[in-house]
Structure 1
């Protein structure tokens, strides 16, 4: 199976990519000649990881009949010092909010995403360390 996108240069350092029915704008920071009109391509790697695992976790929790009020996924990344600077590690923090959270099921959903379903994690694990943790905030009824 093949997949593709198209990316067209706009001006200066800005590009627009057509991803299915959606457009994604990338640009460089001011210090690199861009105008910051879009996300940096490298940071979109973190977006891809958060989005991939987020979809997995929400779908798994739905199948487990676990209700949450909120899920915030934070990706922390380590960059190397050499040029080109690349990611050497990413750490994922899953912060759940809800009433009477079933911590065992939440952790199982994250574990399944990271060990079985998230294709972005699987690809990234081939080139860098990926770690994760789960945090909870119980909502008062």
Structure 2
């Protein structure tokens, strides 16, 4: 992967990737906010891709995150709670397995920060809360990975 930035003045950068480019306006959205939305965007798309691969559609989908940062510089992320809310025609077990597959295996951004950030999640599927503030394995070593199905995640 190759990415670059070109400073345009007035706290604006042109971000370049192999596929496209966009304007990063730091007066409007900080690089930390871009980073945070990139994290939830990565895990967000995983659900859609896995469901489509199985022949399902995901509807009314929203992913959000509550992030706590350390107070000392460099003010790293201390914890992240991701809330997934969506509808689908598959069962709740499969919905949770899709999310856990992303969090535990496929999402590059989550797996890049998980050793230093305590990550938890909530899943609201078809209007029902099927997971509430459950944790994933992180660098603290205090959270054991548990997919809620006796280790059957994603099989």
Please indicate, yes or no, whether the TM-score normalized by the shorter chain is above 0.5: yes
Q: TM-score with structure 2 length normalisation?
A: 0.73
The equivalent of 1:121 in structure 2 is 110
Question: What displacement does 1:12 show?
Answer: 2.5
Bigger relative CO (Cα 8 Å, ≥ 6 apart): 1
Q: Does the 8 Å CA contact 1:28/1:40 hold for their aligned counterparts?
A: yes
1: distance between equivalents of 2:115 and 2:23?
Answer: 27
5+ residue gaps, structure 1, are 30-35
1:124 touches 1:130 (CA, 8 Å); kept in 2?
no
Length-normalised TM-score, structure 1: 0.79
Cα deviation code 1:74-102 (max 9, x no counterpart): 0211112123322111111110134x552
Q: Return closer, same or farther for 1:8/1:92 CA change in 2, 3 Å cut-off.
A: same
C-alpha RMSD of the superposition = 1.8
Distance 1:66 1:58 in 2: 9
1:51 deviates by 1.7
Say which structure is richer in helix: 1
The answer to whether the 8 A contact 1:66-1:102 is kept is no
Q: What is residue 84 of structure 1 aligned with on the other side?
A: 74
